[in-house]
Amino acid sequence: MRGLLNFVGCALGGARDEAMDIAVTVLAPFFGAPQAIVIGCGERPDALNAAFLNAASANVLEYDETHLGTVMHPAGPVASGLFALAELRPVSGRELLHAFIIGVETSCRVGLAVMPTHYRRG
């Protein structure tokens, strides 16, 4: 649950960063039909672009959580995809939280399987 709160807080904080303005400007010509929100912004692009923009805004200020064993930030990419998907296929809070837990756990396990070699290679 704290990971989801961290994601939303970081996405709100990063939503007005200059990098987000640039990302929206670059991607806007490719937006599909409005499907999902971008947290803290007025845009409502297609789900794929919303997921990307939410993940970017959650990470842009570098305050998002870190899984120290892998030196990665699993919540942002997992939550942003789930939030966008939940706007296309409504789910319960319990289902969303369950999917989030599975996604973060899977990300961390994959990260641990390739760590630290992938990090040293850049």
SS3 string, 65-119, reads CCECCCCECCHHHHHHHHHHHHHHCCCCHHHHHHHHHHHHHHHHHHHHHHCCHHH
- Is residue 67's pLDDT more than 70? no
Map residue 39 onto helix, strand or coil. Answer: coil
- Is residue 76's pLDDT more than 70? yes
Model confidence at 73, in pLDDT bands (50, 70, 90)?
A: confident
What does pLDDT average to over the chain?
A: 90
Q: At what angle do helices 18-27 and 47-59 cross, to 10 degrees?
A: 160
Model confidence at 122, in pLDDT bands (50, 70, 90)?
A: low
Positive or negative: CA dihedral 110, 112, 116, 119: positive
Model confidence at 99, in pLDDT bands (50, 70, 90)?
A: very high
- Is residue 65's pLDDT more than 80? no
User: Which bin fits 71, alpha (ψ -120 to 50), beta or left (φ > 0)?
Assistant: left
Angle made by CA atoms 78, 106, 13, in degrees to the nearest 5: 25
